Structure 1
Amino acid sequence: METKDQLLKELEAIQNWEKEQKGLWFWEKLGRLPFKLLDRLTPQFIHKKIGQALDELGSYLQTGGRYLTNEKDILKRYTQKTGVDGVTLEDISDLPIYMMDEISDELVRSRKNIAMTQGAATGIGGIFTLSIDIPLLLGISLKTLQDIAVTYGYDPNDKKERIFIVKCLQFVSADIVGRQAILKELSTYSDREVETKGETLSQIQGWREVIMTYRDNFGWKKLFQMIPIAGIIFGSFMNKSMIRDIGETGKMLYKKRRIKEKLEVLTSVSET
């Protein structure tokens, strides 16, 4: 296990990252405007796809739905790195942070390539394939965050972790005020009780905010994707950037939780 000083150094790096999250750049804020201004002109089938995504993600919060990830591949990666057979999810929490970081980075790189290929493929048809791209990208985003959860020793089958993943997605798409609020909420997340039904309903509203912001964030870049063929380049770039940001956020927020829990263990051991 790492020393207390090593963990505190890693925690300081994450806290510096949090301070750098100053919301959207000016051009990104402008990038939201096209969809806001053209909302009424957006084809109905895109609105319908967004509605379907809301229903599916609401189901994800409750049961995991079809988005739940398969942790076997990640456990296999740990077996290869540690040389120990039969590594379990519970074993991961005792492994070094650097090992968790390495596997997390590998997974995010893989998902970025998948998202890039998907963005290029759906960019071929312009606006007619944009409705396919939105739910597919959301699915990749969810699975990426779930993989990161497993990488740091957390179980995405747990409803509490699915709500944490909602918060990660909200963080990526929020402005500076929203990000500060989410960071404050997550600072004591490990101490929270299992969510009540009423709190779960409020999280589904959070999904609505995430999905609508996803659509708005496509902005001018996704408008270019509406142009057949030219959309290949922009769709590929946009999807890769989206998964990069989601991967970074998931890594930092889950890593912070794991470091704080390790520090608590070291503190309790030193006091006994």
Structure 2
Amino acid sequence: MDEYEQMALSELVSWKKKIAKKSGRLERMSKKVQIKVNSYIPDQVHKMITESIKGMIEAVLSGSKYMSKEKNVMLLSLQQKEEWVAETVNAYRKTAVIEGVGTGAAGLLIGMADFPLLLSIKMKLLFEISRIYGFDPNKYEERLFILHIFQMAFSSEEKKMETLPIIEEWDSGKWPEIDWQKFQQEYRDHIDVIKMFQLVPGLGAAVGAYANHHLLEQLGETAVNCYRIRLLKE
């Protein structure tokens, strides 16, 4: 294990500790607020989010939408791969910020369009990252792994702790079925509060930019550490 791999392993251990850390009082209070806010969200918004997530899941599992060109990474070191991943995350994050500003500034109806657009950006990023690390998302099991990364990034602390052992033992070939209804609810609960402010006139553009930047950053960090689990184990 070279110096960079040792550093990556250290960061991975720290990330796992962060995942296992119990939420503080502020986070627990935020959850209560979130539940209350959800009750005020129009049914059409809830329905649109649910249908967007359902469509995203179906597209990932069928492999019909997010395929990217194969990347020649056989001779790259982990450091070189992760430098490429960082550049890719940065590029997609900029795209998400621009998209968030545009839809957030346009009002309620256009602002709602941010949800399916952002989902598409997130999924395309994960497929790109999978290729850079040397995995083939043409394979069903790799597309399923991508959905588990997504779930690790955007779910409650309890669900993260349920998903982490699955990630750690992924290459054993034992992949439990995903509860798709729970998958949708976890994602909605994770983003509802901050993204709802994007629909507020006068706040939409600023909130859209901040939220999309944060969500893409979070997704990139989660993906990197999930693939490190597999590669550093080797």
TM-score, length-scaled by structure 2: 0.86
* Alignment deviations for residues 58-109 of structure 1 (CA, whole Å, 9 cap, x no partner): 322431232x13225xx3xxxxxxxxxxxx3xxx244211100100000000
- What is the CA RMSD across the aligned residues, in angstroms? 2.5
Larger Rg: 1
Mean Cα displacement is larger for which, 218-227 or 134-143?
218-227
Please tell me whether residue 252 in structure 1 is matched to residue 233 in structure 2: no
Check whether the contact 1:148–1:254 (CA below 8 A) recurs between aligned residues.
no
Q: Flag the 1:13–1:51 CA change in 2: closer, same or farther, 3 A.
A: closer
State the secondary structure of the residue aligned to 1:65: coil
Equivalent of 1:231 in 176, 181, 204:
204
Distance 1:247 1:117, change over 3 A: same
Per the alignment, do residues 120 and 26 of structure 1 end up closer, same or farther by CA in structure 2, a change over 3 Å counting? Answer: farther
How far has the Cα of 1:14 moved from its partner? 1.1
Matched, 1:173 2:167: no
1:33–1:216 CA contact under 8 A, matched in 2: no
Aligned counterpart for 1:111 among listed residues 71, 74, 92: 92
Aligned to 2:113, the other structure's residue is in SS state helix
Out of 8, 18, 38, the position equivalent to 2:16 is: 18
Amino acid at match of 2:117: L
Which 10-residue stretch deviates more, 235-244 or 128-137? 128-137
Q: Is the 8 A contact 1:221 1:238 kept in 2?
A: yes
For 1:106, give the aligned amino acid: E
2:190 counterpart of 1:189: no
**In the TM superposition, what whole-angstrom CA distance separates every residue of 1:104-128 from its partner, at most 9, and x where no partner exists?**
0000000110111111111113332
Within the candidate set 107, 122, 131, 2:103 is matched to 122
Q: Contact (CA 8 Å) 1:93, 1:152: kept in 2 or not?
A: no
Structure 2 Cα separation of the partners of residues 179 and 162 of structure 1: 18
User: What amino acid is the match of 1:58?
Assistant: I
Which deviates more from structure 2 when the two are superposed, residues 232-241 or residues 21-30? Answer: 21-30
The yes-or-no answer on 1:221 pairing with 2:194 is yes
Counting aligned pairs with the same residue, the percent is 24
- 8 Å CA contact retained: 1:32, 1:218: no
Structure 1 CA distance for aligned equivalents of residues 50 and 192 of structure 2 = 19
* Pair 1:135–1:35, CA change in 2 (3 A): farther
- Of residues 118, 126, 137, the one that matches 1:137 is 118
With structure 1 as the length reference, what TM-score do the two structures score? 0.75
CA–CA separation in structure 2 for the residues paired with 1:165 and 1:211: 15
**Contact map agreement 1:28 1:217 (CA 8 A) in 2:** no
Change (3 A) 1:44 1:181: closer
Aligned-residue offset at 1:23: 6.1
Distance 1:129 1:25, change over 3 A: farther
SS in 2 for 1:174: coil
Q: Which runs of 5+ in 1 are unaligned?
A: 76-87, 262-272
Deviation at 1:139, TM superposition (A): 1.1
